[in-house]
Amino acid sequence: LGFSASIDERGFISAEVPMFCETLNEALTISGGNPFGLPEVSRSINQVESIGYEVKIRYEGNKGPEGSNEAEASTYEFESGFKEIPLVNHPNWWRISQKYGGSWDAQTGQIVWAQTIPRGNISKKGLSTAAQNEEIANPLAGVQTYQALVQTFRRSYVQRRFPQRQLEAVGTTREKLPKGFPTPKGRNWLIRPPKIAKRGNVWEIIEEWELSLPGRKHLPEIAAAVGYGEGKLRRRSATARV
């Protein structure tokens, strides 16, 4: 039976110590030696016919100093996708409504579109005045939403201390990403609730930052209302240090 271990880019170590024991009591209590000083997180026991028990003890964590709050290294990920959003929230809604004859009906909560519009509203290029005034079917008739590109930035790492600071940052905004990753002009990032898991002697943390829609920013005053922390952390501005 052979010892095995792995370490990832974040400095997270996973090790497995296989052993053979003659009795069940020994299989339940035997120590695998705590490789790298890591704590045991699980063990599996399988009886091998009538001769004994095969034991596999798993250890997880890192070798950082006890109480350390600094991640050894991080991994980064960008995820993009589409999200259906009301067309009235489009940053160019006023221009769209003028061009395609749309108006917002507060009673029904719907956009009311003209069924036809002058051809020249779409393009005047190469058209005579008469052709520009010709009524055609409105291509946006009935449309209420549009597909907006949503982008999420993730940072994954492990650290020894409970991630209180990361929880208190939820609902705040940032103008820039860590490590100098680019941010489109006129937009910023909203810090979403992190994913947190206890892994051996460390906490595994995955931070999530959501990019604002084109042409607008997440407002810290609104975002803070859904935040975890209170007091000064809730009042942090969009220029808070990352």
Is the pLDDT reported for residue 215 higher than 60? Answer: yes
Token pair of 153 as six digits: 């930035």
Query: What is the number of H-type helices and E-type strands within the chain?
Result: 5, 13
218-to-140, 170, 196, 210, 222 alpha-carbon distances in Å: 28, 13, 24, 9, 8
pLDDT grade for 72, boundaries at 50, 70 and 90: low
CA distance 112 to 90: 16
CA distance 116 to 126: 21
Per-residue model confidence (pLDDT) at position 237: 40
Residue extents of the structural domains in the chain: 4-61, 75-85+147-233, 86-146
Please compute the mean of the pLDDT values over residues 66-75 and round it to a whole number.
Answer: 61
Q: Residue 95 carries which DSSP code?
A: H
Rg from Cα positions in the chain = 29
Residue of 81, 117, 124, 127 whose CA lies nearest to 96: 117
Residue bearing the bigger pLDDT, 136 or 73: 136
Q: What is the pLDDT of residues 3-60, one digit of tens each?
A: 898 988 888 899 999 999 999 999 999 998 888 888 899 999 999 988 999 999 999 9
Contacts for 95-101: CB closer than 8 Å, 24+ residues apart: 96/140, 100/138, 100/139, 100/140, 101/138
Please compute the mean of the pLDDT values over residues 225-238 and round it to a whole number.
Answer: 46
What mean pLDDT, rounded, does the chain reach? Answer: 84
